[in-house]
Structure formats: C-alpha cells, structure tokens
Structure 1
Amino acid sequence: MPFSLMLRTLLALVMLALPLSAFELPSKSTQCVVAVASDWGATHVTLTAYEKRGNQWVKALGPWPCRIGKSGLAWGLGIHPNPPGTKLKKEGDWRAPAGVFHLGGAWGYDEAIQKHPKLPYRQITKRDLWVEDSNSPSYNRHLVIDHEPSTAWEKKQQMRQGDHAHSLKLFVAHNAPPKVTPGGGSAIFFHIWRAGGTKPTAGCTTLSEDHLSQLIAWLDPTKQPLYVLLPQAEYDARRSAWKLP
C-alpha cells in the first residue's frame, strides 16, 4: 500500500476513534438554550435557558414545555460532532435536529418586536421566501424576490402563509449557510405552537407565544447564544465533556 494511502487511512481511523468528548461548547458562548426530550422518539421537550456567570451556568428562563418533531429526533448538522455511522436528519422526515446549534435572527409579521438592539429582525412580507426545495441552489436560504409570488414554486416557499404559528420565529442554524447539505433538513425555527401545544411539528421547536417572546427578548447576540437539543440519556452522557449547563 502506498505511504500516502496508508497515511490517509490512518488519519481516517484516528478521526473515527476520536471521542465525542473532544468537543465542548465555545467559551465565548455565554447564553445557552437547552431542550431535553425523554428519548429519541419523544415529541415533547422541556426547555430551560441559561447564562454563564464566571464558570457557572445559571438558569435565566424556564423550565417551559415545548413540542418538537412528530417523529422525534435525529442527529442534526450543527457545531457538534455526530457519532460515526449515525442516522442524520433528512428533509421531510418529521424529526427535530438533535445537537448544538447557533441561534440566528428573529422573523415576524409585526413591524417591530421586543428584542436586543443587535439581534437581527425582519418583518416578513409576501416576497420573503425560505427555500425548502432540496434541488435548489438556494436550499435552506432566505430569498427576497422582486415581485409578488406567482409560480407554484414561489408560493410554496413563502414564509408568510397567513398562519399565526409562524407570525414570530427564531432561526436555528441547522444545516445552515455557508455549508448546506442538500436534503439535510431546512427551515428549522423556534415558533409559536399550535392548538395550545397539543400538536407536534415537522421538525421545529414550538412553545407558547408568551414564552417565545420572552426567549427572543432575552437573547443577546454579543453572547453568541446556542441551542442544545438532546434526549435525556445523550445529554447526561455528554454534559461534563461538552460543558453543558
């Protein structure tokens, strides 16, 4: 076997052997939203928000009940390492992405919302699209078109659907730009739950409108907030090594 091939093979084996404990939350992230499910098939989670003071995570909000994907969870594409050979979230699988994710900006129907001055917010218009078409070069990206949506494709991607559940949203950076995997899952947000929390989701995390408003108002982009979503057993197994709250 050529030496170069041996070296590549050895490096690949080393990478596979690296423990998940090699990862930990970024030290500059001092706000962390944690949602824990009972198991991989659960559609309910409990959410608690924490802020780091010194070396300690201190509870800031919650615990609050939330709903997630109709089919539970699957490992997602965030900043965390995924176990080798694991089944990952896919487009249309009705699963919420598990792992550690950056939180993006807020979106809503209102002209303005209560938020940190540095948190990006966009009022959604009929021309705002979020592309969920895996075959599009704009997959899992926000687009603003220069005309009223006219084609069936444009209408399907519209962010504004006259649906109160999506009238306030917070982006979860799963499979997010600039590195987007086609078919890896798109349009993952926090948004308002349906029917008082009696309905699961297609993959988003939903909670009451009041709690979502409180969460968005609390977030400080300068503290590089994160979202951790895991089943209880996975959270317990990684809590120390990953330096989770």
Structure 2
Amino acid sequence: MAILTSRNFLTGTLMALTALLNACASNSERAQPLLQSLETKQLVVVVSDDWDATTASLQKFEWQDGKWQAVDSAYPVNLGRKGLAWGLGLHPAQQGYYKVEGDGKATAGIFDLSSTFGYLPEAQTQMPYQAMSGNHYCMDVNSSPLYNQIVDVAKVGKAAVDGSTEPMRRDIHKEGQTIYKKGIVLDHNPNNISTKGSCIFLHLWFGPDVPTAGCTSMEEPQMDKLLAWLDPQKNPRYLALPKAEYEKKQQNWGLPAL
C-alpha cells in the first residue's frame, strides 16, 4: 500500500485547487450576459447624462445575427423630476439609492414591458392592450392591498381607491390631460411591495424638458412607433441608466454599443 507523504498531499491539494479555479474561470467566461440569459430580443434603451438628469435619449434595439442592431435613431424623453433611482426589476441587487413612493425619481435597471393601455378602444400594437375608462385607477396608496395595480372601481368598490392620485383617464379627472392617452406599463416592483414605488409607465409628455413624477414620457409620434414595434414574442425589455453606469454594466449585462 502506498504511503501519502505530507509533501505529496500538499502537491495534490494545490493541483486540485488549481483545477477548480480554472474550471470556475472557464464557467465565468462562458456565462451569458444578463440580457441574453433573459432571452431578450427587443430592448428599449434610455440613457441620461447622470443620476440627477430629468431628460434622456431613447433608442430601440433588436437582437439579430447574434448582436444588437439599432432600429432607428435616438430621440429625447423626459424622466422623473428628481432623475433616476434603482428600481425593482430583472437586474441583480445594486448598491445605491432605490426608488420609494413619491420621491419623484424614474426607475433605473432592466424591466419587463408586458402590457399597454390608453384612452382609445384599441391600439396599433401587438402587445396586450387595455382600454381605460373613468373607473380605472392605479393604486399609489402605501399599505393598500391593491398597491401598484390598475383596478376598476366597478370591481373593487369606490372605497378601495380612496386616496389614489392616479386615475387612468386623466382627461376625465385631471382637467383634460392627455398624457395617458397612450402608454406602456413598465413592470417595476412586480411583487407590489408597499412604499417601493408604483404606477411606473412610458406615456405621452406634456412637452419637451417637462419632467414626470417618476415615469418616462415622449411625444406621441414616437410612442406610436414604439407601440407598433413591440412584439411580445421577443420578450421586450426596458433599460434605463446614467451614461457612466451604462458603460460599467455594458459587458456583464450584454448591452448594445451606443
């Protein structure tokens, strides 16, 4: 029977550790970037100058032939009146400030785009669409069991929406406002955690350089193009980051070159 000396044991241990480290490095190198692991084929990219900026540029990208292809030129959008903050979405947990209810910040990170809404009976889009009535509200009331959900008063009762500042027919309840005439639900805070931010949309703007309460807004012709382009079969996602943060995340998240 062979006798294993301490020297042989040490050598064998080092060889095993080296093999393990090499395997880990190899697996890390083979790991897919975040967006590719999510099988995202359409990406709405919003990039601002910094965390405090209230305006940004939006550009659409599609995954083709193993790389991101720009669909059209970038165009201006408005962000929250206090800029950006990390939101709760598809990205890993991050260091830094996270959005809370009423802070006036739009959400940074990667998010699903799952449905659309508006004032009209139907919309020119392949995405699921819900026509809003005067009975529809998005619940922004902390501690409400309906927090961060669009509800119908006819179904939940008038008392359930008391205190909500987000009627979905703002043309009826907010002096003719048209900003929700056409919109897209951004799936921030999908678990509807109270105080963590609610009712985050892409919607029409009041005008250039007019910030939002925490959404992303744009002019109507650009919204029309976006609605027509989105394809639920391509797992469309929304991404918003300040430029410096975008550059840090570009490789690991598999972001397009700007």
For the aligned pair, the TM-score class normalised by the smaller chain equals 0.7 to 0.9
Mapping for residues 1-245 of structure 1, pairs under 5 Å: 24-25=34-35, 26-84=37-95, 86-116=96-126, 119-146=127-154, 153=162, 156-162=165-171, 163-176=177-190, 179-194=191-206, 196-245=207-256
More displaced stretch, 24-33 vs 204-213? 24-33
Q: Quick check: which has more Rg, 1 or 2? A: 2
Q: Judge conservation of contact 1:130–1:158 (CA < 8 Å) in 2.
A: yes
Letter matched to residue 120 of structure 1: P
Q: Following TM superposition, by how much is the alpha carbon of 1:197 offset from its aligned partner in structure 2, in angstroms?
A: 1.5
Q: Check conservation: 1:66, 1:205, Cα contact below 8 A.
A: yes
CA distance in structure 2 between the aligned counterparts of 1:136 and 1:65, rounded to whole angstroms = 35
Contact 2:87–2:98 (CA<8 Å) still a contact in 1? yes
Q: State the shift of 1:115 in Å.
A: 0.8
Root mean square deviation, CA, Å = 2.0
AA paired with 1:203? Answer: G
- TM-score by length of structure 2 reads 0.80
What residue ranges of structure 2 are gaps of 5+ in the alignment? 1-30, 172-176
Deviation at 1:54, TM superposition (A): 2.0
> Secondary structure in 2 aligned to 1:222?
helix
Q: Per-residue deviation at 1:145?
A: 2.4
Query: Is residue 139–residue 164 contact of structure 2 (8 Å, CA) maintained in 1?
Result: no
- Asked if structure 2 preserves the Cα contact closer than 8 Å seen for 1:23 and 1:80, the reply is no
Q: Contact between 1:99 and 1:229, CA under 8 Å: does it hold in 2?
A: yes
In the alignment of these two chains, the number of paired residues is 219
Separation in 1, partners of 2:61, 2:164: 38
Cα gap change, 1:155/1:82 in structure 2, threshold over 3 Å: closer, same or farther?
A: closer
Question: Could you tell me how far 1:227 is from its partner in structure 2?
Answer: 0.4
Stretch of structure 1 that moved more, 219-228 or 135-144: 135-144
Partner residue, 1:3: none
Per-residue CA shift, 1:72-123, capped at 9, x if unaligned?
Answer: 1111101101324x2100000000110000112110001111112xx11011
